[in-house]
A and B are shown apart, each in its own frame.
Chain A
Amino acid sequence: MAVGPRAIEAAGFPGLGRFARVREWWEQEHVFGYGLILPALLLIVCLVAYPFSMAIYFSLSDYWVGSPGTFIGLQNFRDILGNEIFHQTVYNSFVFTSIAVVFKTVLGLWLAMLLFRTLRFKRLIRGAVLLPWVIPTALSTLAWWWMFDSLYSVVNWTAIRLGIVAPPGPNWLGVTGYAMSAVIAVNVWRGLPFFAVIVLAGLVSIPREYYEAAEVDGASSWGRFRHVTLPLLKPVLAVVILFSTIFTFADFNIVQVLTRGGPVNTTHLFATLAYQQGLVGGNLGQGAAISLFLFPMLAAVVFIQLRYIRKD
Chain B
Amino acid sequence: MQVGARTRGARIRSAIFGYANIVPFVFFALFPFYYMVITSLKNDTELYNLKAVPFLIQTGVITDHYHYLFFKTDFWTWMKNSLIISVTATAISLVIAILAGYSLARLRFAGVNSFGTAVFITYLVPPTLLFLPLSQVVVWLGISDTIWALIVTYPTFLVPFSTWLLMGYFRTIPREVEECALVDGASRMQTLRKIVLPMAVPGIVCVTLFGFTLTWNEFTYALTFVSQTANKTAVVGVTADLIRGDIYYWGSLMAGAVVASVPIVVVYVLFLDYYVSGLTAGAVKG
Which chain A residues have a beta carbon within 8 Å of chain B's beta carbons?
A: 1, 3-4, 23, 26-27, 29-30, 32-37, 39-41, 43-44, 47-48, 50-52, 54-55, 58, 107, 110-111, 114-115, 117-118, 123, 125-140, 142-144, 146-147, 149, 151-152, 154, 157, 189, 192-194, 197-198, 201-202, 236, 239-240, 243, 246-247, 249-253, 256-257, 270-271, 274-275, 278-279, 284, 287-288, 291-292, 294-295, 298, 301-302, 305-306, 309-310
Contact = CB atoms under 8 A, between A and B. Distances in A.
Interface string B30-52: 10110110010000000110100
B100 A29 contact: no
B254 interface: yes
Contacts of A151: 50
B247 interface: no
A50 B125 CA distance: 14
B124 A301 contact: yes
Interface stretch (B21-29, B67-75, B200-208): B21-29
B117 A306 contact: yes
B146 interface: no
A239 B123 CA distance: 14
Given A4-B185, A23-B187, A294-B129, A143 B33 contact: yes
> Nearest 10 A-B pairs (CB), nearest first?
A250-B126, A40-B100, A30-B109, A271-B128, A33-B107, A36-B103, A54-B133, A51-B133, A136-B217, A36-B99
Contact of B50 (A1, A123, A152): A152
Contacts of A1: 182
B160 interface: yes
Given A51-B134, A139-B238, A132 B29 contact: yes
Given A43-B156, A138-B219, A246-B126, 16 more contacts: A4-B187, A33-B108, A37-B104, A41-B100, A130-B272, A134-B265, A136-B219, A136-B264, A138-B217, A139-B235, A139-B260, A142-B238, A146-B36, A271-B128, A279-B132, A298-B129
Interface centre among A274, A275, A306 (most CB of B within 10 A): A275
Contacts of B12: none
A129 B175 CA distance: 38
Interface centre among A51, A201, A243 (most CB of B within 10 A): A51
Given A43-B159, A284-B132, A127 B272 contact: yes
B63 interface: no
12 contacts: A43-B96, A48-B130, A115-B22, A131-B33, A138-B217, A139-B238, A142-B253, A143-B32, A189-B28, A239-B286, A302-B124, A309-B286
Given A37-B99, A201-B280, A298-B129, A32 B26 contact: no
Given A37-B104, A127-B269, A135 B33 contact: yes
Contact of B125 (A29, A139, A249, A298): A298
Interface of B: 14-15, 18-19, 21-22, 25-26, 28-30, 32-33, 35-36, 39, 47-48, 50, 54-55, 95-97, 99-100, 102-104, 107-110, 112, 115, 117-122, 124-137, 152-153, 155-156, 159-160, 163, 182, 185, 187-189, 213, 216-217, 219-220, 223-224, 235-236, 238-239, 250, 253-254, 256-257, 260-261, 264-265, 268-269, 272, 275-276, 279-280, 283-284, 286
A47 B26 contact: no
Given A127-B272, A201-B284, A291 B128 contact: yes
A130 B276 contact: yes
Grouping DSSP codes into helix (H, G, I), strand (E, B) and loop, the B interface class, with mixed when no group exceeds half, is helix
Grouping DSSP codes into helix (H, G, I), strand (E, B) and loop, the A interface class, with mixed when no group exceeds half, is helix
Contacts of B28: 189
Contact of A43 (B25, B126, B155, B276): B155
Contact of B29 (A50, A131, A240): A131
B236 to A, nearest CB: 7
Contacts of A295: 129
Contact of B136 (A29, A240, A284, A306): A284
Nearest to A31: B109
B122 A294 contact: no
A231 B130 CA distance: 37
Contacts of B284: 198, 201-202, 236, 239
B147 to A, nearest CB: 17
Contacts of A247: 126
B228 to A, nearest CB: 15
Interface centre among B99, B128, B156, B217 (most CB of A within 10 A): B128
Contacts of B36: 140, 142-143, 146
A173 to B, nearest CB: 12
A9 B15 CA distance: 72
A137 B156 CA distance: 20
A32 B133 contact: no
Given A47-B137, A146-B254, A279-B135, A197 B279 contact: yes
